[in-house]
Amino acid sequence: MRVTLLGPPGSGKGTQGKALATALGLPHIVSSDLLHEAAEADTGGQVQHAMADGNLLADDVVIDVVRNRLAAADVQAGFVLDGFPRTSAQAQALDEWLAERSQQLDAAILLDVPRRVLLERLAHRAGVEGREDDDPQTWHHRLDVYDGEVGPLLDHYVRTGTLRRVDGDGTVDEVQARVLRALDGSLR
């Protein structure tokens, strides 16, 4: 099974992605982790700077980083992507890459969460994790960037018939049950 989890920062992609990957016995591929690794290797600092400001990286950079991970042997039977794709260009690149391997994405799960809940979750996460890029100005900017980019991405997955909207507001277990129900017809 090949699944991607979509949603704004704070929607629970990481938590639900980890749980879903465990339930399905598949690798959980976190795009932000891959990008942080790429930023550490970025000698010019361009990737680090863009990420710290809460801006999206150029599609070609993100696509290359994720493709490199998807080429690994452990993902041949499937994967759970977390936070990729973020744009329709990235979604199209993923579809093309999979098609070259006679594969396809089984589901794109959108975790719908009200903005006020997202801000509460981001504030909680900042208190727990203490990341240097976790501050209210950056949260609002990231949510605005996401809102500005998500329409064409969701349209892409509506056209391909893979979009599954899931209410992401609730306990971890409640949302996990909703995600599994949304995949019920896709499980093979």
User: Is residue 98 a contact partner of residue 1, using CB atoms and an 8 Å limit?
Assistant: no
Sign of CA dihedral 35, 40, 44, 48: positive
Which two structure tokens, joined as six digits, stand for 3?
């699944």
Of 129, 15, 57, 122, the C-alpha closest to 5 is 15
Looking at 2, 86, 121, 164, which residue is catalytic?
A: 86
Active site residue 125: yes
Q: Which of 67, 115, 131, 181 is catalytic?
A: 131
131 is catalytic: yes
Name the active-site residue from 121, 142, 164, 178: 142
- Cβ atoms of 82 and 30 closer than 8 Å: yes
Q: Tokens 């980083």: give the residue.
A: 65
State the catalytic residue, choosing from 2, 13, 164, 178.
13
Catalytic annotation present for 69:
no
Active site residue 164: no
Catalytic residue annotation: 13, 86, 125, 131, 142
